């Protein structure tokens, strides 16, 4: 009797975390937004927007967050982008986690990875301001309506530091546009590093 009770408790502990709306089926809605210059408010054309879909997998005593899939889009002449919905099956003991976004355009500060799921799915609650990780004087704004206001890069150091935030190597095949832009930027950054900028 005690053995059965103990086994029932163990099974319950291992599976209780899977009682979540996204267990078995992973779904994220369409994401759309607009990228503009922070100072001029002009649209930024051909900025790459990457979404990385993530899951949380539960195990005894630990939860592991891992990347599941990625999609990309380029902004149009109005600075707007659209990423279609994504649905797939996920393994038992897993649930969806918050999607991460990377927004990158050479000449502008890289935004990301950022948690902009609410803003890009139409559920944003408030406007907010964030700082570059290496210099809190460099600010960008995110509006609840899904508009990201990105500052231009001013110095070579800013370009080097901004580039450090860009990491999509696991999804290079799924993200050909982002991969090309990042490879080109990597060449520029390496040249800046070599000349001591």
As a three-state string, the secondary structure of 101-136 is: EEEECCCECCEEEECCHHHHCCCCCCCEEEEECCEE
pLDDT attached to residue 63: 84
Please state, in angstroms and rounded to a whole number, the distance separating the CA atoms of residues 151 and 75: 16
pTM of the model: 0.80
What residues pair up with 64 in beta bridges, in sequence order?
A: 57
Report which of 72, 73, 35 is spatially closest to residue 53, judged by C-alpha positions.
72
Domain ranges for the chain = 2-194
**pLDDT confidence of residue 157:** 78
How confident is the model over 9-27, as pLDDT tens digits?
666 555 554 444 556 888 9
Which H or E run contains 12?
helix 2-15
pLDDT beyond 80 at 164? no
CA atoms within 13 A on the CB side of 133: 13
Contact 139, 129 (CB under 8 A): yes
**Measured distance CA(128)–CA(139) in Å, rounded:** 10
pLDDT one-digit tens code per residue, 23-61: 688 899 999 999 999 999 999 999 999 999 998 888 888
Q: pLDDT (tens digit, 9 = 90+) per residue, 114-128?
A: 888 888 888 888 998
């Amino acid at each position: 009797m005690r053995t059965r009770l103990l086994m029932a408790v163990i099974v319950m502990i291992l599976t209780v975390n899977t009682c979540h709306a996204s267990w078995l089926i992973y779904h994220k809605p369409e994401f759309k937004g607009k990228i503009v210059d922070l100072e001029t408010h002009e649209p930024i054309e051909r900025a790459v927007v990457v979404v990385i879909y993530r899951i949380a997998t539960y195990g005894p005593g630990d939860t592991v967050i891992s990347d599941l899939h990625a999609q990309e889009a380029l902004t149009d002449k109005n600075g707007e982008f659209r990423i279609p919905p994504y649905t797939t099956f996920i393994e038992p003991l897993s649930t969806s986690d918050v999607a991460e976004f990377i927004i990158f355009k050479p000449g502008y500060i890289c935004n990301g990875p950022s948690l902009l799921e609410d803003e890009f799915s139409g559920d944003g609650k408030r406007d907010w301001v964030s700082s570059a990780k290496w210099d809190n004087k460099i600010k960008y704004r995110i509006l609840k309506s899904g508009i990201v206001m990105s500052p231009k890069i001013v110095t070579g150091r800013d370009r080097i530091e901004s580039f450090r935030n860009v990491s999509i190597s696991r999804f290079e095949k799924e993200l050909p546009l982002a991969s090309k832009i990042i490879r080109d930027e990597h060449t520029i950054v390496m040249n800046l590093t070599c000349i001591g900028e």
